[in-house]
Amino acid sequence: MTSKVVVDLITGAALSVQNPMITQIALLVNNDLLYAALVFALVLIAEGRNSKRMKVLLSLVIAVGLGILVKTALAEQRPCAGEAWCPTGYSFPSLHATAAFTLMIAFLNKKSYPAFLLFALFIAFTRLNLGVHIFRDIAGALPLAVMAYYITGLAWPLVEKRAGRVLDG
């Protein structure tokens, strides 16, 4: 069994699902602004404390920033490259999946975690189902999310102190 076959099996299995409702959701999520708004709304809904909301949003910014950095450095073409409908930008890693996994990791200690896990897996599935990513792009997003949340955790005491000072005038 070669590496390509297994990756292709997962990508291929996701691609083979033909469900108009899923396709509609996948196309909606494919819109960057709409997806950013959805992620932002989920943070506001799932977390009541402003401080924790800020921490999650900071980790999302770091994760997406790292993702853009890696995307630019590796400059890998999307599997759909050349098609008129294919999004611009590089393939590895998936920024949609990076954001979804970061959200998932941020709620690791919460009762709502399984819901965020399913959300992240569903977002990952929609990226494969649309044909804009391969499984490796999704898998590469998970370490970025862990790293981003870990870096946020290290930086947070300092950020919180400064933010507190600003808010206190």
Partner 1 sequence: MDKELKRQLFHMAVGLAALLVLLHFGRGFAIATAFFTIIIGTLLINLRLRGRKIPIVQWFEKEFERAGAPLPGWGSACYATGVLMLLATLSDVNEIAASIFILAIGDGVSTILGRRGRMRIPYNQEKTVEGAAAFFVSSLPALAFAGPMAVPAIALATIAETLPVLEDNLIIPVACMTFFLVF
Residues found near partner 1 in the complex (CB under 8 A)? 1-8, 10, 70, 73-74, 92-93, 104-105, 108-111, 113-114, 117, 121, 135-136, 138-140, 142-143, 146-147, 150, 153-154
Q: Whole-number minimum distance, CB 45 to partner 1, in Å?
A: 19
151 in Cβ contact with 62 (< 8 Å): yes
**Tell me, what amino acid is at 101?**
F
Q: Whole-number minimum distance, CB 43 to partner 1, in Å?
A: 18
Q: Which is nearer to partner 1, 40 or 113 (CB)?
A: 113
Tokens 């921490």 label which residue? 55
Q: Whole-number minimum distance, CB 48 to partner 1, in Å?
A: 18
Q: What is the DSSP string of 92-120?
A: SSPHHHHHHHHHHHHTTTSTTHHHHHHHH
How far apart, in whole angstroms, are the C-alpha atoms of residue 71 and residue 23? 25
Q: Which is nearer to partner 1, 9 or 37 (CB)?
A: 9
